[in-house]
Amino acid sequence: MSLKVKALKKSLWVFHLSTASCNNCDIEILDLLTPRHDVERFGIVLVGSIKHADVLLVTGIVNKKCKPIVKKLYDQMPKPGFVVAVGTCSAGRGMFENTYMVDEHEPLDKVIPVDAYIPGCPPKPEAIIDGIVKLLKK
């Protein structure tokens, strides 16, 4: 096991990317930082730069304008890095399934590889924590 993979078991630096979302998933992610859930005690920290992140947390759909930005951010993320799709929209486009702004058959996993899916509209903070724990076991 490499040194970086061992370090990922101790703390995760997460970059949150909100593509075209309704902000409900974003609110639940912010709820993780409140004293009730306090994921920072587990070493999970939101960072402001993808170049310092271990995990790319994506919420919302990937529309035509966001697709090149998502690819560019993924390419800038240090490897090994993990991608987590939060919410129904990032996993399969949810309520935006047949809209004009979404390419057909282009969910997030068709644009970049996804390591973990956290379903829900929006997922509860407990589900997000559970998804991160399962990611660490992977």
In the chain, what are the domain boundaries?
Answer: 12-137
**Tokens matching residue 50:** 């993808």
DSSP state of 21: -
Give the per-residue pLDDT at 120.
87
Backbone angles phi, psi at 70, to 5 degrees: -60, -45
Instruction: Map tokens 């101790």 to a residue.
Output: 10
Q: Identify the band that residue 42 occupies on the pLDDT scale cut at 50, 70 and 90.
A: confident
**What is this structure's pTM?**
0.83
Q: Please provide the CATH number assigned to the domain covering 12-137.
A: 3.40.50.12280
The 82-86 sheet, strands edge to edge: 44-46, 12-18, 55-59, 82-86, 116-118
Backbone angles phi, psi at 65, to 5 degrees: -80, -30
